[in-house]
Amino acid sequence: MKIDRLLGIVIYLLSRKTASARALAEKFEVSARTIQRDMETLSLAGIPVGSSQGVNGGYYIMDRFEMNSQVFRPEDYNFILTALKGLRSGYDSRQAEATLEKMVALLPVNQSLQQHLHLDFGVLREVSRIRSDITALETAISKECAIGFEYTNAANQTSQRLVDPLIITYKWYAWYLYGFCREKRDYRLFRVSRMRHVASTTLPFIQPHENGESLLAKHQDQRPHIQVKLLCPADLRISIEEAFPNALRSELERDPDHFTIEFSAPEWGRGWFGTLLAYGNRVTVLEPEPLKQRIRAHVQSMLELYP
C-alpha cells in the first residue's frame, strides 16, 4: 500500500544522511518517478524533505523533524520488544535494559503486549572474563580510542596488537571484535576468547573509519576453505541437516538408503570437524582426499593414547 511505502521511506531516510532516488526505488521496488511523486506527497503532508545534487546527493529529511511514536502499529512494538528481550537474554547491558523499559513505556495505554515470538540467546553468554572484555571494548568504541591486547590465533601464534575497535559481533558461535589493526595496517576480525590482557588506551583512532557495520558487511573471510562431500545414511537425515544446515543435499538414484551433502568449510575449523568425527563410522568422507588423511591421523593418534 502507498501509505506503508511512505512510512517506510520516512523511516529509511531518518536512519541515513541521504538516499538517491535510484536507491529508494530499488529498496521499495517502484520506479524512480514514483519515488519523486512520493517525495512530493511527503512534502505536502508537512514532512521536511530536502534534496541535494552531486555524486553523493539524494533525498534527506531535515534535522528539525521528529517522528511521533503513534506511527508505530502494535505489531511494530511487538517486534521491537521481542528483539530487545532477546538481546537482554544473551547480553548484559544496562543500556539495553533501559531501552527496553522506555519502549514498554511508549506502549499505547489501551495496548496489551501479546508476543507470539520468543528469542532466547542465552547461548551467547560467555565466561565473566569475556563479558568484562566486551564491556571494555564497548567503551573504547564509544570513545574512539585504540585498545591493546595479547592475541593468540588458531595456529597458536601469540602477538601483541593495538587496534582501533569498530564493532563487536557474534558469529561462528563466538564473540568477535572487528577493527583496524595498526600492526597489519588492515581491518581484521579478532575472536574475543583469544584475547588476553585487554587494556584501554587514550590513543585516538589513527585515521577516520567508515561505519563499522558497513565495513563488517564487506569483510571477506580470509581463512582457507575446503569443499567437503559426505555420504550419509538416510536415517540420519534430520541430524545431518541440523549439524550442517548450509549443506547442499543430493539424493542417490541407485541407493535410496543414502544421500550426499556438500559444503564449504574453514580448512582448520574445529567445530565442523569435531561434529564430523562424532558421527564415527556412520558418515563417509568422499572428498577431499586431504580430509580423509587428516581423519586417519587423528584416529591413529587417539588409538596411541588408548593402547
**CA nearest to 269, candidates 192, 188, 172:** 172
- Residue of 279 and 246 predicted with greater confidence: 279
- pLDDT > 90: percent of the chain: 42
| pLDDT > 90? residue 103 | no
CA distances from 27 to 19, 35, 92, 241 (A): 10, 11, 34, 33
Which range is least confidently modeled, 218-222, 223-227, 297-301?
Answer: 218-222
Question: What pLDDT score was predicted for residue 5?
Answer: 81
**CA nearest to 176, candidates 168, 166, 165, 188:** 168
Task: State the fold for domain 225-305.
Answer: Alpha-Beta Plaits (3.30.70)
Question: What pLDDT score was predicted for residue 183?
Answer: 92
Question: What pLDDT score was predicted for residue 98?
Answer: 74
Question: What pLDDT score was predicted for residue 189?
Answer: 92
- Cα 253 vs. chain centroid, distance in angstroms? 39
CATH class for the region spanning 128-218: mainly beta
| pLDDT > 90? residue 204 | yes
CA distances from 159 to 25, 81, 196 (A): 48, 42, 10
Q: What is the secondary structure of the chain as a DSSP string? A: -HHHHHHHHHHHHHTSS-B-HHHHHHHHTS-HHHHHHHHHHHHHTT--EEEE-STT-EEEE-TT----GGGS-HHHHHHHHHHHHHHHHH---HHHHHHHHHHHHTS-TT-----S-----GGG---HHHHHHHHHHHHHHHHTEEEEEEEE-TT--EEEEEEEEEEEEEETTEEEEEEEETTTTEEEEEEGGGEEEEEEEEEEPSS----HHHHHHH----S-EEEEEEEEEGGGHHHHHHHSTTPEEEE-TT-TTEEEEEEEEETT-HHHHHHHHHTGGGSEEEE-HHHHHHHHHHHHHHHHH--
Residues 6 or more apart in contact with residue 140 via CB below 8 angstroms: 146, 147, 165, 200, 201
Which pTM was predicted? 0.64
Question: What pLDDT score was predicted for residue 64?
Answer: 62
Residue ranges of the domains in the chain? 2-67, 72-123, 128-218, 225-305
Q: Which amino acid type is present at position 30? A: V
164 and 182 in contact (C-beta within 8 Å)?
A: yes
Residues 6 or more apart in contact with residue 276 via CB below 8 angstroms: 230, 283, 285, 295
| pLDDT > 80? residue 51 | yes
| pLDDT > 80? residue 294 | yes
Phi then psi for residue 91, to 5 deg, are -150, 120
| pLDDT > 90? residue 72 | no
| pLDDT > 70? residue 70 | no
Which range is least confidently modeled, 19-28, 53-62, 85-94, 99-108?
Answer: 99-108
| pLDDT > 60? residue 20 | yes
| pLDDT > 70? residue 68 | no
| pLDDT > 60? residue 1 | no
Question: What pLDDT score was predicted for residue 205?
Answer: 95
- Say yes or no: do domains 2-67 and 225-305 share a fold: no
Give the confidence band of 47 by pLDDT, cuts at 50, 70, 90: confident
Q: How many residues does the chain have?
A: 307
| pLDDT > 80? residue 200 | yes
Q: How high does pLDDT run on average in the chain?
A: 85
Tens of pLDDT, residue by residue over 115-169, are 777 777 776 676 678 888 988 999 999 999 999 999 998 778 999 999 999 999 9
| pLDDT > 70? residue 38 | yes
| pLDDT > 70? residue 180 | yes
Please list the residues that pair with 226 across neighbouring strands.
Answer: 265
Question: What pLDDT score was predicted for residue 291?
Answer: 95
CATH class for the region spanning 2-67: mainly alpha
User: How buried is residue 1: exposed, middle or buried, by Cβ count under 10 Å (0-12/13-18/19+)?
Assistant: exposed
Tens of pLDDT, residue by residue over 188-197, are 999 999 999 9
| pLDDT > 60? residue 67 | no
Phi then psi for residue 162, to 5 deg, are -125, 120
Question: What pLDDT score was predicted for residue 94?
Answer: 74
- CA pair distance 41, 124, nearest whole angstrom: 45
Beta strand pairing status for 145-152 and 158-171? antiparallel
224 upstream amide cis, omega within 30 of 0:
no
